[in-house]
Amino acid sequence: MKRINIEPRPNWQQKCEAVGFHFYNMYGEPYWDETACYYFTTSQINQLEAATQTLQELYIEAAERIIQENRFSQLSVPEQFAELCRQSWQRKEEGRRKKEKACVV
């Protein structure tokens, strides 16, 4: 990865606002930095994608375990929201099963 210093785009704050990105400043400090961009090799992109996929799988596994073992209170999730999480998870699972069946044609 190589950091490349650049000039900020003209009116970059308005461009952020136009796409709904309203928190380019947080707590009086800049959050979004327009003074640099980064160059990645194909190999580096592939490594990032693989790591991202692994993290996604771990997040799904953790969520499933939280739901199956009813561990919401350990995360300070109020029970009324825990039920919403369960329902959302169930809908996602049903969607995944439909996709899997469609792929096995």
Torsion of CA 25, 26, 29, 35, to 10 degrees: -40
Residues 50 and 93 in one domain: yes
Q: Which domain covers residue 58, as residue numbers?
A: 43-103
Co-location of 52 and 97 in the same domain: yes
| pTM exceeds 0.85 for this model | no
How many structural domains comprise the chain? Answer: 2
**79 and 32, same domain (yes or no):** no
Same domain (yes/no): 18, 63: no
Question: Which candidate, 65, 67, 104, 105, places its Cα nearest to that of 88?
Answer: 67
Cα separation, 80 vs 95, whole angstroms: 23
Q: What pLDDT score was predicted for residue 101? A: 66
Residues 31 and 68 in one domain: no
85 in the same domain as 67? yes
Examine the domain organization and report whether 32 and 51 are in the same domain: no
More confident residue, 96 or 29: 29
What per-residue confidence (pLDDT) applies to 16?
93
Mean pLDDT within 6-18: 94
Structure-model confidence comparison of residues 46 and 24, the more confident one = 46
**Is 88 a residue whose pLDDT tops 70?**
yes
